[in-house]
Chains A and B, each alone.
Chain A
């Protein structure tokens, strides 16, 4: 089966909008005095329906119109996805790295996590033949400490301290 960009996007958006509409049933509606005729569930259902319609238009367009839309015939979706990941592992690693950073920030603390994040992200964003760990490490530590000093000590922003207290 071949997938056009529009068809895949349309399918994802339609599924998302169906889920969005489904969960709108959990919205509690206020019926007391002063209640508005349009309830708090009205607008989510309105936007959900709009998105579903637009998603279906995209699927329809992707299926029946080839104008301006590239199709990769005979290439299964998962195979394309696998190929894309192999060709863009820096993108996947960057998202994963930000995820790890978010997850460990409260327990490990801002300074350590930021130093590690900057170090790892610099390496990911540098072409393999030019990767140099020492300057990346130095930049990571330097900026994590400086940012922590400016925001925590000077500006008073509350940043996670973690188990080691900094």
Chain B
């Protein structure tokens, strides 16, 4: 028995089967990321049941590889189709597609792949440094701190809501409401079970996410059947070397570091994720550029900013997931489900209870970044062909696999009804123009908030001054107030 660090490293890097799983996971993730409408979340949803019989480190390495491949794969369709494969690649379209139209598709793809790789490594680097520190601090957290933290995380809904705060809040409250079904925390009293024994366990996170994302995606496609959209795919892709010169690379270093920091920062904030980080870093690159007028006409800076940031946000999003048990975005919410399936409980004690697995995850992420670099360069021509796979054949198979995932998670067919229910809810909310991401936050943070609020109420009744002795909790409450006020003002300014 060695240290958790060595055990984690050796269990991943020296196990050919796990290396194979990581390479396969990255390849599948890239395919999902590159096909518009399929996302990294769906890749993780679809392949989660396949990890059930794997060891925790095998299963989680596979899921992490799918995540990294899925986020990175979006650049292929963003550049070649001018359609972002995933929301994380929206800003890649702005300059990537004009570059492809100018005959520089190879350069755009090469830069996108290399800076995705570097962004991932930088994000993982920060993850490795920060998450153990954060976990060490969080180990001192009690009910007050967790309650304050969940309120702070829920306050992020305001940032997520865009211009319509009411709808963002509705989404978050609905998520919290669905989480109240089942047994109450602390005293285990049944709530909203209506006599159904299956309802006492409540709705599983996996079922909730599958319904919201996978089913809604199928329905969105069903809506477009009659419009029969066909894409114009550019297949004249030639990449020499990395596609760009060393001088061009040096010229992008500041842009890369700035974008990575934005990506990591946004990733850490609960519920925001890659989609926002790529837009923000693109804007930051444009605002600090000597030639902002060239952005959008097909320059390397735009592709570098977007791709570095969205991949760096992967490491950022993993920090609160592992250290606090709070997911940074939809995919990490899915990974949270995956960790739970494999009996790994994210939170401050994760380094104590599952230290080897966590270090194994770090190693898997680094290997997955290298796998992404190799696979994307070697398989570029193949991925351009894969963009042609008909989604009308692919989506029904994904639905069946999602159902297998839901049934396999708790061995009950009842969960397929749950998928249908959340699919209906997700579609209804989309039609009402209510964002879905805050609902995930509400669903995950609602029980955490309730449990700790009720514990806090008990502590407060016993000793009303106990709250004054919790500076971290007070700090979180104050930060929450500042965040809420600033975001409301920013929203109002945007509306005006």
Residue numbers in B under 8 Å from A43 (CB-CB)? 176, 180, 446, 449-450, 453-454
* A1-59 CB contacts (< 8 Å) to partner B: 5-6, 8-9, 12-13, 20, 23-24, 27-30, 35-38, 40-44, 47-48, 50-51, 54-55, 57-58
Known: A13-B170, A151-B49. A102 touches B416 (CB 8 A): yes
Q: Separation in Å of the A75 CB from the closest CB of chain B?
A: 16
Q: Is the CB of A118 within 8 A of B397?
A: yes
> How distant is the Cα of A150 from the Cα of B51 in the complex, in angstroms?
12
Q: CB of B249 within 8 A of chain A?
A: no
Q: CB of A127 within 8 A of chain B?
A: yes
> How distant is the Cα of A101 from the Cα of B396 in the complex, in angstroms?
12
Q: Is the CB of B180 within 8 A of A117?
A: no
Q: Is the CB of A40 within 8 A of B413?
A: no
> How distant is the Cα of A35 from the Cα of B458 in the complex, in angstroms?
8
Residue numbers in A under 8 Å from B446 (CB-CB)? 43, 47
Q: Which of A20, A124, A135, A159 contacts B222 (CB 8 A)?
A: A124
Q: CB of B477 within 8 A of chain A?
A: no
Q: Is the CB of B408 within 8 A of A151?
A: yes
Q: Which residue of A lies closest to B411 (CB)?
A: A158
Q: Which of B239-247, B361-369, B398-406 contacts A (4 or more CB under 8 A)?
A: B398-406
Q: Which residue of A lies closest to B416 (CB)?
A: A102
Q: Is the CB of A88 within 8 A of B223?
A: yes
Using an 8 Å CB-CB cutoff, how does the interface string of A71-92 with B read, 1 for contact, 0 for none?
A: 0000000000000000010110
Q: Which residue of B lies closest to A67 (CB)?
A: B495
Residue numbers in A under 8 Å from B219 (CB-CB)? 91, 94-95
Q: CB of B433 within 8 A of chain A?
A: yes
Q: Which residue of A lies closest to B401 (CB)?
A: A147
Q: Which of B177, B391, B393, B408 contacts A48 (CB 8 A)?
A: B177
Q: Is the CB of A36 within 8 A of B413?
A: no
Q: CB of B417 within 8 A of chain A?
A: yes
Residue numbers in B under 8 Å from A23 (CB-CB)? 192, 194
Q: Separation in Å of the A133 CB from the closest CB of chain B?
A: 13
> How distant is the Cα of A158 from the Cα of B53 in the complex, in angstroms?
12
Q: Is the CB of B180 within 8 A of A44?
A: yes
Q: Which of B167, B173, B416 contacts A47 (CB 8 A)?
A: B173
Q: How large is the interface on B (under 10, 10 to 19, 20 to 34, 35 or more residues)?
A: 35 or more
Q: Separation in Å of the B228 CB from the closest CB of chain A?
A: 5
Q: Which of A9, A90, A114, A157 contacts B49 (CB 8 A)?
A: A157
Residue numbers in B under 8 Å from A63 (CB-CB)? none
Q: Is the CB of A40 within 8 A of B225?
A: no
> How distant is the Cα of A98 from the Cα of B53 in the complex, in angstroms?
27
Q: CB of A112 within 8 A of chain B?
A: no
Q: Which of B50, B218, B221, B401 contacts A155 (CB 8 A)?
A: B50
Known: A30-B189, A50-B173. A159 touches B218 (CB 8 A): no
Residue numbers in A under 8 Å from B416 (CB-CB)? 98, 101-102, 105
Count of chain A residues with Cβ under 8 Å from any Cβ of B?
A: 69
Q: Is the CB of A117 within 8 A of B423?
A: no
Q: Separation in Å of the A102 CB from the closest CB of chain B?
A: 4
> How distant is the Cα of A133 from the Cα of B110 in the complex, in angstroms?
41
Q: CB of B289 within 8 A of chain A?
A: no
Residue numbers in B under 8 Å from A9 (CB-CB)? 432, 434
Among A28, A41, A91, A143: residue with most chain B CB under 10 A: A91
Q: CB of A144 within 8 A of chain B?
A: yes
Q: Is the CB of B222 within 8 A of A90?
A: yes
Q: Separation in Å of the A89 CB from the closest CB of chain B?
A: 9
Q: Is the CB of A37 within 8 A of B461?
A: yes
Q: Which of A54, A124, A125 contacts B169 (CB 8 A)?
A: A54
> How distant is the Cα of A9 from the Cα of B219 in the complex, in angstroms?
19
Among B397, B433, B434, B457: residue with most chain A CB under 10 A: B397
* B200-254 CB contacts (< 8 Å) to partner A: 215, 218-219, 221-223, 225-226, 228
Q: Separation in Å of the B242 CB from the closest CB of chain A?
A: 38
Q: Which of A44, A105, A126, A139 contacts B413 (CB 8 A)?
A: A105
* A90-109 CB contacts (< 8 Å) to partner B: 90-91, 93-95, 98-99, 101-102, 105-106
Q: Which of A5, A40, A140 contacts B433 (CB 8 A)?
A: A5
Q: Which of B399, B419, B449 contacts A121 (CB 8 A)?
A: B399
Residue numbers in B under 8 Å from A37 (CB-CB)? 457-458, 460-461
Q: Which of A38, A40, A58, A121 contacts B457 (CB 8 A)?
A: A38
Residue numbers in A under 8 Å from B138 (CB-CB)? none
Using an 8 Å CB-CB cutoff, how does the interface string of B409-445 with A read, 1 for contact, 0 for none?
A: 0010100110110011001100111100000000000
Q: CB of B190 within 8 A of chain A?
A: yes
24 residue pairs A–B, Cβ–Cβ below 8 Å: A5-B433, A8-B432, A47-B446, A48-B177, A51-B173, A55-B170, A57-B166, A58-B170, A90-B226, A91-B223, A94-B222, A98-B416, A98-B419, A101-B403, A105-B403, A117-B399, A125-B222, A126-B392, A127-B228, A139-B393, A150-B50, A155-B49, A157-B49, A158-B407
Additional pairs, 6, CB under 8 Å, beyond known A102-B419, A117-B400: A58-B166, A90-B222, A94-B218, A102-B416, A122-B396, A124-B225
The 7 A-B residue pairs with the shortest CB-CB distance in the complex, in nearest-first order: A40-B184, A121-B396, A125-B392, A30-B187, A157-B408, A9-B432, A90-B222
